[in-house]
Amino acid sequence: PLPADCREEQYPCTRLYSVHKPCKQCLNEICFYSLRRVYVINKEICVRTVCAHEELLRADLCRDKFSKCGVMATSGLCQTVGASCARSCGGC
C-alpha cells in the first residue's frame, strides 16, 4: 500500500547480468564442457515510487541552489545559463 501522495512510475532501465554458458570443447574424440561466464545486457521496464512531498522538497532544494536559473529565464537571458540550468533543474 502506497501513501496517498505517492505513485508508481515505470521507466526503461538496462541491467547487466552474468550467466554461465556451457562451452563444448573437444580434443580428438574426447569432448568436455566448461562453464564460461558471459555478460548479458537486458533492457527492462523498472518501477520506482514517486511521492509528491519528495518532488516538492527536491524542487525547493533545486530552486534554492540554482535560483539564478529562474531569474535568468524570467529576464529573457536564459541562453546565457541554459546549459548549467538544464543539468541542474531541467532547463529554463
What residue segments make up the domains of the chain, in order of their start? Answer: 6-75
pLDDT given for residue 3 in this prediction: 74
Residues 6+ apart with CB under 8 A from 85: 66, 69, 72, 73, 78, 91, 92
pLDDT given for residue 85 in this prediction: 56
The whole-angstrom separation of Cα 35 and Cα 28 is 20
pLDDT given for residue 18 in this prediction: 92
Q: Which residues of the chain have pLDDT under 50?
A: 91-92
**What's the pTM?**
0.38
Task: Please identify which residue in the block is written with the cell numbers 541562453.
Answer: 79
pLDDT given for residue 91 in this prediction: 47
pLDDT given for residue 65 in this prediction: 60
CB 79 within 8 A of CB 91: no
